[in-house]
Amino acid sequence: MVDEIKKPKRAQTKNLVNKTYLTSDELVEGRNWSIYKRSDFGFVETNSVDLILTDPPFNIARDTNFHTYEGNTINSYRFDKEKGWDSYSREEFVSLLGEWSREFHRVLRKGGSFAVFCADKYVSYLYHALEDAGLSPRRTVTWRKPNAVPVNRSVMMMSSCEFIITGVKDRNSVFNADIDGSSSILRQHIESLLVADKVASIVELSVRQELMSRERGKSVTPVEVSRHVNDVLQKLLPGISKRVEKMYRSKGDAQVLEGCVPNAVVFNSKSGQRLHPTEKPVSLLSYLIALLSEPNALVLDPFSGSASTGEAAVGLGRRVVLVEKDEEFFQKGVVRLKGLESQSVLDFE
């Protein structure tokens, strides 16, 4: 149970939309969440949203017949194409990026933030569309996925990154980079990442230096490589804890991690049985929500797929409005959030 959530009233997303716009079968609501089955979010009140966190279609189905096999499930981009939401011409897609960005600008409040997922080939198009709509993109986060599926291993680099353009409407946005230990959400989702990132960068650099400094031209066995790695880890251990302690500063009575938040993060992509072929991990979504919004904030995901953003937002005590046009994913999202609501972890009352 999170420790900083104010007791919300039932269905606090209700007053944010113009209900005359909707028919009843398009909407399912729970405590602090609503899912709309629609292909637009024109019903969301202007200037009402604190954070847009969304993963719109990437439009990469035309480029690849890439399939990933997980267990007995086949997840494929061709499947997305068959669903009809990832196969636009470039001109059509760029025009959609403009429409979506203008709507993002309309619904965000001043000082509201956005974090929008994007494939590498469209980063600059989306960045410019957001700027043209009057928003201020700030950093593009590179999300590295260590468990990416190696396809065409001998021909080209595997695709192990996605990109997330973050930014604000106007200024004075929420950015929770200071962690003083009083918030379990910030400790769990931001401090853990910043500390692990520091440790990983120390280890990575030292292992690389050690392996590169081996006698040049001399062939080595895998056993020798692993011995080098082991040696370097042993050498590093005492120094690492000192480096971690140095990340904190005294501020009054508290020890504060004044986090320097990197624009590159490492999270495994969703593995095992997925509800959606491009399902995002709740851990990454929770990190972005914790960093870019306050408890009880209103989060919007207008391309919600399996409602992963809904799970992350409600789990962190935010209110969330989700929009999904596909009947199958809409229903999966409803089942997912109803299932979570029936567990005590989301029962704030």
Ligand X SMILES: C[S@@+](CC[C@H](N)C(=O)[O-])C[C@H]1O[C@@H](n2cnc3c(N)ncnc32)[C@H](O)[C@@H]1O
> Closest by alpha carbon to 100, among 167, 155, 54?
54
One of 323, 334, 337, 340 touching ligand X (CB under 6 A): 323
Site string for ligand X, 325-344 (x = CB under 6 A): xx--x---------------
Residue type (1 letter), 209: Q
One of 8, 57, 259, 317 touching ligand X (CB under 6 A): 57
**315 lies in the binding site for ligand X (CB under 6 A):** no
Place of tokens 């006698």: 215
Place of tokens 């494929």: 76
Place of tokens 């909407």: 27
Binding to ligand X, residues 80-119 (CB under 6 A): 85
**311 lies in the binding site for ligand X (CB under 6 A):** no
One of 50, 303, 312, 319 touching ligand X (CB under 6 A): 303
Stretch that binds ligand X, among 7-15, 130-138, 169-177, 297-305 (CB under 6 A): 297-305
Stretch that binds ligand X, among 190-198, 259-267, 318-326, 334-342 (CB under 6 A): 318-326
Binding to ligand X, residues 245-284 (CB under 6 A): 276, 278-280
The DSSP bridge partners found for residue 162 are 143
The DSSP bridge partners found for residue 254 are 251
In the sheet that 27-30 helps form, which strands lie side by side, from edge to edge? 27-30, 33-36, 319-323, 298-301, 49-54, 108-118, 161-168, 136-144, 264-266
- Lookup: tokens for 272: 């095992």
Stretch that binds ligand X, among 26-34, 51-59, 159-167, 200-208 (CB under 6 A): 51-59
Residue 121: in which H helix or E strand, if any?
A: none
**59 lies in the binding site for ligand X (CB under 6 A):** no
216 exposure class (CB count in 10 Å sphere: 0-12, 13-18, 19+) = exposed
Residue ranges that bind ligand X, judged by CB under 6 A? 39, 55-57, 85, 276, 278-280, 302-303, 305-306, 308, 323-326, 329
